[in-house]
Amino acid sequence: MARPPAGVSETLAVRFTTSEIATVIGAGIVGAEVGIDGASIDTRTLRPGQLFVPIVAERDGHDFVAAAIAAGAPAFLWSRPDPPPDGATALVVDDVPTSLRLLATAARDRLDVPVVGITGSVGKTTVKDLARSVLAAAHPTHASERSFNNDLGVPLTLLGTPAGVGSVVVEMGARGIGHIAALAAWVRPTIGVVTRVALAHSEHFGSLDDIARGKGEMVEALPPDGTAVLNAGDERVAAMVARTRARVLLYGVGTGDVRAVDVVVADDLSVRFRIESPWGAVEVAPSVRGTHQVENALAAAAVGLAAGVDLAAVARGLAAAEISPWRMEVHRTASGAVVINDAYNANPASVRAALEALAAVPAQRRIAVLGTMAELGPWAFDEHRAIGALVGERGMVGIAVAEPGYGLTDVADIDGALAALGPLRAGDAVLVKGSRVAGLDRLAARLLAA
């Protein structure tokens, strides 16, 4: 896990002894009484003092217990019928994931600070990164690493909370109805953000209305003295006002309680604008790129304002935010070509926004290299074809990587994409965008290395 923010103790606020853990999760203890600071499911990143949690997936985490002990784990969970190995304290349980969630619930019980939950079809991780920076401008803040937003990442985030923090930010993803409600039962957010409702994971979720139903579980989980931060520019999100007992802050471009006015987009896609709010107005220049990121910055600003951060600190936090990789990164090659690396993930809404960003870059030739938009289910064909048509309408060159559904020039792999692109020159602008399964971040890296 990442190092704690500057000025925050290495000792975690949710430190447990093994006897306390055993009581919480109903475990048997084999070995001496020890204390644990946080938890890890990966021996490669485990820090000394963390509980090792062996998850059974493609590989059985129990096979790595010895490595975890060598890395400094003082204790580990164990659910195999055979005796646990020596060298650290074993907590013997029936089911490891259930035990992790019970422990995370106990960790949340020990947190007496604002806890922010963030969900939505697009923008979750960026809003999380921005909100963390905004809150950190006022006090030490802990947040989910990268996109740790599922039933493993969320408990690990709670368990990893350092002592002395003033707030916690938890990204929460979902692949179906009931998933956000389950995560919220552990997180118990006091501030809840819903970014947008769009076709993402629709293979599992269903229609846009089904997605809205699932994402709205966030605001239903808020207490009456909490705050719901909702996108005024998305009708399904704005309608969630009726589903919460909490105070509501709407945000949007030119509309809402926290709104952006006088938006200016530079040639490098950096943005600046003025935030107007019930707390006053402030000029901001967030570290994100692209017009569509204005909404994400507003969401983070609303979180900060709801948590008592003053406007000047909000502006500083937005400007200083470090954004997770492969999200609207704008680079320039040695030849002078612009490469927009937005390859972390893709759905129809995010691809349209990325294409609008590409259209805003001054260039003689604009090229969109697109990988598949995964998990769209019955909407896959129509949505890919619509994106392909938009590329043509915008006068762009379109290259699809292993996705004939776009109706664009289709190549088999990254080598094929490089061949189709040919040498990049000054005046060229290239967007690289696709779902994670497409792995197009490797293409962006090769373009820049060349």
pLDDT in tens, 353-373: 999 999 999 999 999 999 999
pLDDT, mean of residues 240-247 = 98
Q: Is the distance from CB of 398 to CB of 392 less than 8 angstroms?
A: yes
| pLDDT higher than 70, residue 8 | no
Residue 47 confidence class, pLDDT cut points 50, 70, 90:
very high
pLDDT of the residue at 2: 34
> Which of the two residues, 5 and 246, has the higher pLDDT score?
246
Residue 204 confidence class, pLDDT cut points 50, 70, 90:
confident
Looking at every residue in the chain, the average pLDDT score rounds to 94
| pLDDT higher than 80, residue 344 | yes
| pLDDT higher than 50, residue 22 | yes
What are the beta bridge partners of residue 282?
Answer: 275
Amino acid at 408: L
Q: What is the pLDDT of residues 273-313, one digit of tens each?
A: 999 999 999 999 999 999 999 999 999 999 999 999 999 99
| pLDDT higher than 90, residue 11 | no
pLDDT of the residue at 27: 98
Q: Structure tokens of 407?
A: 């109706």
pLDDT of the residue at 14: 55
> Which of the two residues, 203 and 282, has the higher pLDDT score?
282
Residue 146 confidence class, pLDDT cut points 50, 70, 90:
confident
Sequence-ordered list of residues with C-beta below 8 angstroms from that of 315, at least 6 positions apart, any chain: 275, 282, 283, 284, 285
Q: In what order do the strands lie in the sheet with 409-411?
A: 329-332, 338-342, 428-433, 365-370, 397-401, 409-411
| pLDDT higher than 80, residue 209 | yes
As a whole number of angstroms, the distance between CA 82 and CA 74 comes to 20
For 16-103, CATH number out of 3.40.50.10240, 3.40.1390.10, 3.30.460.40, 3.90.1720.10 equals 3.40.1390.10
Q: Is the distance from CB of 243 to CB of 210 less than 8 angstroms?
A: no
As a whole number of angstroms, the distance between CA 102 and CA 409 comes to 50
| pLDDT higher than 90, residue 446 | yes
pLDDT of the residue at 140: 96
pTM of the model: 0.93
Lowest mean pLDDT among 112-121, 155-164, 249-258: 155-164
Provide the H-helix boundaries in 190-330: 202-205, 208-215, 217-220, 235-238, 293-306, 311-320
Count of C-beta atoms within a 10 Å radius of residue 182: 15
| pLDDT higher than 70, residue 3 | no
pLDDT, mean of residues 6-33 = 78
Residue 340 confidence class, pLDDT cut points 50, 70, 90:
very high
Q: Is the distance from CB of 298 to CB of 321 less than 8 angstroms?
A: no
Lowest mean pLDDT among 154-163, 232-241, 296-305, 406-415: 154-163
Record: fold of 329-449:
Protein-Tyrosine Phosphatase; Chain A (3.90.190)
As a whole number of angstroms, the distance between CA 411 and CA 72 comes to 47
pLDDT, mean of residues 20-48 = 96
| pLDDT higher than 70, residue 12 | no
Dihedral of the CA atoms 214, 218, 219, 222 (nearest 10)? 150
Domain map of the chain by residue range?
16-103, 111-320, 329-449
pLDDT, mean of residues 121-140 = 97
What architecture is the 111-320 domain classified under in CATH?
3-Layer(aba) Sandwich (3.40)
Lowest mean pLDDT among 83-92, 143-152, 388-397, 421-430: 143-152
Q: What is the DSSP letter of 19?
A: H
